[in-house]
Amino acid sequence: MITLHVTSTHPRVLCPRCHVRTLRVHSQYTRTLADLPWGPYAVRVQLRVRKFFCDHPTCPRQIFTERLPTVAAPWARRTIRLAQLLLAYGLALGGEAGARPGPG
């Protein structure tokens, strides 16, 4: 297994609710995402993301996690490109690959 360590470095991010830019960091944490395999090796991405304070006084969301829409959906456990590949496989196979032929 290969593990990649990635840290977001955008100095300012947009609040997903009110779209106001902010730079005040609240905290950070690590997300682990499955990614496309590299040859025979499984690939995991350790993505360090930050939580920010929203500085807009009327925004109902006071703390939010930065979004990385080109990498993974919020709360996803796999990268977008792996999810797209798995979806393509599922559509191509149509669920028939796991079906057993009936008697007869």
> What pLDDT digit, counting tens, does each position of 55-88 carry?
899 999 999 999 988 899 988 999 999 999 988 8
* Full-model pTM: 0.74
Structure tokens at 73: 């959906």
Q: What is the model's pLDDT at position 99?
A: 58
Whole-number Å distance between alpha carbons of 25 and 48: 13
Whole-number Å distance between alpha carbons of 19 and 33: 26
Q: What is the model's pLDDT at position 41?
A: 93
Whole-number Å distance between alpha carbons of 64 and 40: 37
User: pLDDT band at 94, cuts 50/70/90?
Assistant: confident
CB 27 within 8 A of CB 50: yes
Q: What is the model's pLDDT at position 103?
A: 59
Q: Which helix (H) or strand (E) holds 80?
A: helix 80-93
